Structure 1
């Protein structure tokens, strides 16, 4: 059994790694991941399983994606209601099964929404994506009894692999954001230094005096210092903007 699980994990990770390479953004990756997850559980159960994922980053950003529009809608309904198996899995970081919407008393409003959409059971599994984010997969089945012990084990194995892929793509996104922030900061610094140089030349003053002039202009105009600096550069040199040159 371990060999089968290991082979399956390897195949899943290869598929998810390819999604990372091909996806333009995190939403595209999540859509592809849930589509793959739904296909995996559909093969195991013999039923038409749908899947949705909820991803929270920095305790604020909420991203919902799914293998179908219905799966996304059901996940968003759960978020709006504030209760359901996915949110319970989030809260407890344990696997949560709603096996039969007709006789499970825990989430009556959400159960009615599921039944109206043609689903009778839900499996919520938390995804380990590190300290700065949290995620959960919701699997939806059209009939009761679909999430057997084997199906739950299969879903858990996939979720572990999905967590590895999610951690990887979140690190990539974080690194890209940091690089963009650094580039912007260096470009702003270049504009400020160049504007100070121009002020020093025109007024025969020190760099400290030139920078104080920029600060006063920034406060008086209620504008950022680098914006004032770029205005001075445009006015004195006739160029549209100043930028540091980088090689990507």
Structure 2
């Protein structure tokens, strides 16, 4: 039953992030879902933020609320807290009660001032050179029970899979955009060379040299010059491919 619930939650999470445009939006969606999941588990409103680490640099990227983002950024600035420890150790770290736990005194003061009584950091597995951690915040102590921590770990495992998928999709889209841009550039130059070849009865190398010289003379990018030639030639009144040095 647990595996079925996890599969259903993973499907919902993938659907939720499917329409997002960038990784930050994905992380905001993940933290919103995480906060809702832990709220259902504890019966009390829980907030969540997420921190990413890449090549030893960390940054708070998203959160279910402005308060969660601010509290997570305070922790990153201090370099001390359950989220930081979870990111370093790779295991969940619980701050059960800000009044009685002796660890992280400065961060506990910040949490108490914001009305937060307990916090939980749960790491997510990403790539070899990257990591992430979910930082949960509760208004009362004792809410992050053994069951709640297990639920948070379950969600973090699921969210880590979804985030890795989102990163791969974003990377693939970026590579596709770069490839399309390169192909568009090459196409414009090839077409422009073809126009020059047809009008000057010259070879492709000679046509490219004409285009290159014109680019240098005009101090204009080769692709921009090629595209302007193509646009002039394919417009309503084609003109000769003549460049003044």
Q: The TM-score by the shorter chain falls in which range?
A: 0.7 to 0.9
Among residues 89, 94, 100, which one is paired with 1:92 in the alignment? 89
CA gap of 1:165–1:217, structure 2 versus 1, over 3 A, is: same
SS of the residue corresponding to residue 80 of structure 2 reads: coil
SS of the residue corresponding to residue 198 of structure 1 reads: helix
Corresponding residue for residue 150 of structure 2: 153
CA gap of 1:231–1:94, structure 2 versus 1, over 3 A, is: same
Whether 1:116 and 2:113 are equivalent positions in the alignment is: yes
Corresponding residue for residue 185 of structure 2: 188
Corresponding residue for residue 72 of structure 2: 75
Corresponding residue for residue 142 of structure 1: 139
* Distance (Å, rounded) in 1 between the aligned partners of 2:157 and 2:46: 19
CA gap of 1:37–1:207, structure 2 versus 1, over 3 A, is: same
* Distance (Å, rounded) in 2 between the aligned partners of 1:51 and 1:150: 18
**2:36–2:46 contact (8 Å) kept in structure 1:** yes
Among residues 101, 105, 123, which one is paired with 2:98 in the alignment? 101
Corresponding residue for residue 20 of structure 1: 17
SS of the residue corresponding to residue 143 of structure 1 reads: coil
* Distance (Å, rounded) in 2 between the aligned partners of 1:230 and 1:102: 67
Per-residue deviation, residues 199-236 of structure 1 (Å, max 9, x unmatched): 33444432223323434444555554212322333455
TM-score for the superposition, normalised by structure 2? 0.81
Corresponding residue for residue 49 of structure 1: 46
Per-residue deviation, residues 100-126 of structure 1 (Å, max 9, x unmatched): 333545433322221111112211111
SS of the residue corresponding to residue 97 of structure 1 reads: strand
Unmatched tracts of structure 2, length 5 or more: 237-245
Corresponding residue for residue 246 of structure 1: none
Whether 1:127 and 2:121 are equivalent positions in the alignment is: no
Structure 1 residue 76, shift from structure 2 partner: 2.3
The structure having more radius of gyration, on CA atoms, is: 2
Per-residue deviation, residues 153-193 of structure 1 (Å, max 9, x unmatched): 11101111111111222222222222211111111101111
SS of the residue corresponding to residue 130 of structure 1 reads: coil
Among residues 25, 29, 33, which one is paired with 1:32 in the alignment? 29
Corresponding residue for residue 231 of structure 1: 228
Aligned-residue CA RMSD (Å): 2.8
Corresponding residue for residue 196 of structure 2: 199
Corresponding residue for residue 8 of structure 1: 5
Structure 1 residue 27, shift from structure 2 partner: 3.2
Whether 1:178 and 2:179 are equivalent positions in the alignment is: no
* Distance (Å, rounded) in 2 between the aligned partners of 1:214 and 1:85: 61
* Distance (Å, rounded) in 2 between the aligned partners of 1:221 and 1:215: 10
Unmatched tracts of structure 1, length 5 or more: 240-248
**1:66–1:72 contact (8 Å) kept in structure 2:** yes
